[in-house]
Structure 1
Amino acid sequence: MKEDKRIRWGIIGCGAVTEVKSGPAYQNTEGFELLAVMRRNEEKAEDYAKRHGVPKFYSNAEELIVDNEIDAVYIATPPDSHKEYALKVAAAGKPCCIEKPMAPNYSDSLEIYKAFNDKNLPLFIAYYRRSLPRFTKVKEWLANGEIGEVRQIRWQLTKQPNEMDLSGEYNWRTDGKIAPAGYFDDLASHGLDLFVYLLGDIEEASGIATNQMGLYTAKDAIIGQWKHKNGILGSGSWNFGSYTREDVVEIHGSKGKILFSVFDEAPITLINANGEEQLIIEHPEHVQEFHVKNIKDHLMGGKEHPSLGKSALHTSWVMDRILDQV
């Protein structure tokens, strides 16, 4: 797109994730305009538009997609509808950003990727941690050899069941038809994608997934292991019926290690022969701010975005391998 062109966005699915995390980032990024939002409930769509100062609202996604005033579309719905909407955006010939995960499985993700790739259309996936300063700092430490040759990475993520889990109240994140592995799909996707960004593509992955609690239809306990193409080994354990919350990543190298949290704003820690260094790098108020600015730089400035359809497709493949779905 030309550098002097203002890009007008439409959002499909103006739910909770768009209230603070992402929607305002599209409004606040220079050169972008949030022109329209869509939600199947017209009253809620209108309410969102009024509260956020968005000029247009729709209750039908296709009407937003074919609107000639909309240049690009952000799909922020649950993952089971990503393919349906994404294929329509590709058919309309417009750039698109899709919330993560790209789709509930690799085959759907591949279909989305091909639709955009065949038309040479920009496709972004909202793995925004690739753009956050705290993780670009970790990448810098690794690139500078602060822990020598990287040997392995390990992630432990646990949480307690929440009130919705215990009450049986409907939650798409634990509906096996929408998110087969439950919170793993929603949360682990962020970390696995981040590890590929930090350490390179994965060539082998496997795992075990089960439902231990019986509170919902999706999986609630998963373990996985993988090997990056450069020989680095990885392992992860995700349990969503634990007595406590824990989110710890350790990257071990030949001369030190790095510790951080994927979700918590805990310090990032570097330990090597020079001692221990801790940095607190807070997230921005609108956590997708840097992700969206990088979309702008890709579309208007020619700088490649760190989270494109191709990288997200790889993450989908890794997740399916861990869940034994490939």
Structure 2
Amino acid sequence: MTESRFNFSAEKPLRWGVIGCGAVTEKKSVPAFKTTSGFEVAMVMRRNPKKVEDYAKRHHIPNWTTNADELINNPKVDAVYIATPPDTHKLYALKVAAAGKPCCVEKPMAPTYKDSLAIYNAFVDKGIPLFIAYYRRSLPRFLKIKEWLDGGQIGEVRHIHWQKTKPPSDIDLSKAYNWRTDAAIARGGYFDDLASHGLDLFTFLLGDIEEANGFCTNQIGLYSAFDAITANWIHEGGITGTGNWNFGTYHRTDKVEIMGSKGSIRFAVLDEAPVELQNALGHQILNIPHPEHIQEFHVENIKNHLQGQGRHPSTGTTGLHTSWVMEEILGKL
């Protein structure tokens, strides 16, 4: 079952409410919602009154609140963007669905597949559009890779491999609290936050994953979540995949290679790096910069979807699939 479309008049701006005013909203997302024609940000919510008032003033947003229900049920808010840590995504998303409003949820969709499924079903049952902020599906850098793949530039795709490693951060070493490494919120630690982007992107590029498994452990003992994960998977059509994510190494790496029968493509999921195509015609290296506000094209695609001018590449359907893949790798609870 797919999400319905929700039409709004181009003559009247769609008014967004934002739940959560953390770092992701400062430059990556909220400015993109504000600058997209036909959209405006009408209200923001954060539990700390001083911080939310300061945020609203700095971003020139007219209304703020410390009560999520007030924002969700406000008749002057037409749609809601949930930008809180993933353990509260289900709580807020179900309320947005009950209010009958379109919603965009930050990634990952929820800490578990079960919670992601509950969110998905709530919006499908209401026939309301649901988007997940896997914005890499909308970025020109990765659309170029898809163009190469769809155009047969490396022949038949055989395998994809991703290596993502980094040293412990100062926060990790100090053992200060970080929700991203709290197993109660993010069982996979940085894997949940970072690997979700890549695994979602790989299904966009190569098709859904039919089977996945993994080995997970905590090697350095700095926090409760996993810090070392390896995985194998297979895409529809038989393309195999492997990944290695380790967050206690000396070197930082972010390397993806897609291998085909007639060439290969190399790129990074998270780091700023060129995309490379190598085949019988030679070696092509392209630097394709991201926009200043990295969710710009993602938000533009939300507008197009709601106006019936296209289908967004990251919906509740695709986000749910990524949640399933991650749970298969991490192991079922």
TM-score with structure 1 setting the length: 0.99
Residue 2 of structure 1 is matched in structure 2 by 8
| CA shift for structure 1 position 6 | 1.4
Residue 165 of structure 1 is matched in structure 2 by 172
Q: Distance in 2 between matches of 1:225 and 1:301?
A: 38
Residue 214 of structure 2 is matched in structure 1 by 207
Residue 151 of structure 1 is matched in structure 2 by 158
Letter in 2 for 1:18: T
Contact 1:265 1:281 in 2 (8 A): no
Letter in 1 for 2:269: V
Identity of aligned residues (%): 66
Q: Distance in 1 between matches of 2:108 and 2:171?
A: 22
Q: Distance in 2 between matches of 1:309 and 1:171?
A: 27
Letter in 2 for 1:120: G
Q: Distance in 2 between matches of 1:276 and 1:52?
A: 44
Pick one of 85, 93, 102 that aligns with 2:92.
85
Q: Distance in 1 between matches of 2:206 and 2:49?
A: 44
| CA shift for structure 1 position 229 | 1.1
Please say if 1:66 is aligned against 2:80.
no
Residue 118 of structure 2 is matched in structure 1 by 111
SS at match of 2:307: helix
Q: Distance in 2 between matches of 1:2 and 1:219?
A: 43
Please say if 1:183 is aligned against 2:190.
yes
Pick one of 200, 205, 216 that aligns with 2:223.
216
Aligned length: 326
Letter in 2 for 1:94: K
Cα deviation per residue 1:43-71 (whole Å; 9 max; x = unaligned)? 10000000000000010101000000000
Pick one of 55, 59, 77 that aligns with 1:48.
55
Q: Distance in 1 between matches of 2:242 and 2:169?
A: 26
Residue 321 of structure 1 is matched in structure 2 by 328
| CA shift for structure 1 position 166 | 0.2
Letter in 1 for 2:135: Y
Cα deviation per residue 1:101-141 (whole Å; 9 max; x = unaligned)? 00001000000000000111000000000000000000000
Residue 303 of structure 1 is matched in structure 2 by 310
Letter in 2 for 1:239: N
Residue 247 of structure 1 is matched in structure 2 by 254
Contact 1:175 1:216 in 2 (8 A): yes
Letter in 2 for 1:37: V
Q: Distance in 1 between matches of 2:41 and 2:307?
A: 16
Residue 105 of structure 2 is matched in structure 1 by 98
Contact 1:124 1:308 in 2 (8 A): yes
Cα deviation per residue 1:200-253 (whole Å; 9 max; x = unaligned)? 001100000100000000000000000011100000000000001000000000
Residue 227 of structure 1 is matched in structure 2 by 234
Of stretches 2-11 and 291-300 in structure 1, the one that deviates more from structure 2 is 2-11
- Please identify runs of 4+ aligned residues in structure 1 that moved more than 6 A: none
Pick one of 134, 143, 160 that aligns with 1:127.
134
Matches within 5 A, 1:265-280: 265-280=272-287
Please say if 1:31 is aligned against 2:38.
yes
| CA shift for structure 1 position 3 | 3.7
Cα deviation per residue 1:165-190 (whole Å; 9 max; x = unaligned)? 00011100000000001000000000
Contact 2:81 2:103 in 1 (8 A): yes
Q: Distance in 2 between matches of 1:281 and 1:302?
A: 26
SS at match of 2:28: coil
SS at match of 1:103: coil
| CA shift for structure 1 position 302 | 3.1
Q: Distance in 1 between matches of 2:147 and 2:9?
A: 29
Q: Distance in 2 between matches of 1:252 and 1:79?
A: 33
TM-score with structure 2 setting the length: 0.97
| CA shift for structure 1 position 2 | 3.0
Contact 2:8 2:14 in 1 (8 A): no
